[in-house]
Amino acid sequence: MKPEDHVIAEEPYYEPVGDEIAVFEAAYAKGLPILLKGPTGCGKTRFMEYMAWRLKRALITVSCHDDLTSSDLVGRFLVKGGETVWVDGPLARAVRAGGICYLDEIVEARKDTTVVIHPLADDRRVLPMEKLGELLAAPDTFCLAISYNPGYQSVLKDLKLSTRQRFVALELTYPDAALEQKIVAQEARIDAEQARQLVRFAHMTRNLKGQGLDEGASTRLLVHAGKLIAAGIAPVTACRSAIAEALTDDPEMLAAVNELSSSLF
């Protein structure tokens, strides 16, 4: 895939919740890597898409997972047409293109894999291409960004201090009620009152975090429910399918969450 295939042509819809845009632009101008912290579905990926559009840079996103290797990021030799050729990984492609590489949920990757980003995330700004025996220098326009959800931290899945202290950190969270209503109404194409009730429901579920739920309803889930409502699904059914069932499989918690939505709609 060519770098230009990752250029975002149209402005993504994004509502700032703080000074994250100004901080990101300042860090980018100084060649500093960015760390986004925040709960699932709060808008981290949308923010990255918006900043890539705003800065007019290609965006290459990698969804990290347990099996992600350094070769998956940097590149590897492959046999094509009877010949052995080198194929860049997404991180190397982003460096060569002078674009933005966004490693989503970085703590899901193996710790020995994340070490490969260290030389890119400090003053060296180079990517070691060990299999090629060379160092790939990042141009001034390159930006490295990573994200993770602190709520899911554990001894086995935490971001190493040697990694996180290389980054400028931005904490993103759910918007305040009024702004979240605006976002849900805009994204789901529903009226203001329906959006207000969905946000009220979300706050109820977020109060259950640590009391049976790992996470409350995210803004993303509210938009999903809103889109179902816009398509003609009854609000209680939409909340059950798009929110309650996505939050838990526990029968008692499901009943409790569904009862909350029934009290509102």
155-198: per-residue pLDDT in tens? 456 778 888 899 999 999 999 999 999 999 999 999 999 999 99
Domain termination site, one of 142, 171, 200: 171
107 and 226 share one domain = no
pLDDT tens for 192-219 read 999 999 999 999 999 998 888 888 999 9
44 and 114 share one domain = yes
Whole-model pTM above 0.85?
yes
152 and 210 share one domain = no
> Residue 13 and residue 36: Cα distance in Å, rounded?
18
Mean pLDDT of 9-15: 94
| Residue whose token pair is 């980018």 | 28
216 and 249 share one domain = yes
Kindly report the length of the chain.
Answer: 265
11 and 137 share one domain = yes
113 and 28 share one domain = yes
| pLDDT over 70 percentage in the chain | 95
Q: What is the CATH number of the domain that holds 157?
A: 3.40.50.300
Domain termination site, one of 171, 190, 207: 171
> Exposure pattern of 196-222 as b/e (b: 16+ CB <10 Å)?
bbbbebbebbeebeeeebebbbbbbbb
Residue 260 pLDDT > 90: yes
115 and 227 share one domain = no
68 and 155 share one domain = yes
17 and 146 share one domain = yes
Which domain does 100 fall in, by range? 3-171
Query: Side-chain half-sphere of 21: how many Cα atoms within 13 Å?
Result: 14
113 and 46 share one domain = yes
Domain termination site, one of 171, 196, 217: 171
Average pLDDT, the chain: 92
194 and 258 share one domain = yes
Q: What's the structural domain count of the chain?
A: 2
150 and 28 share one domain = yes
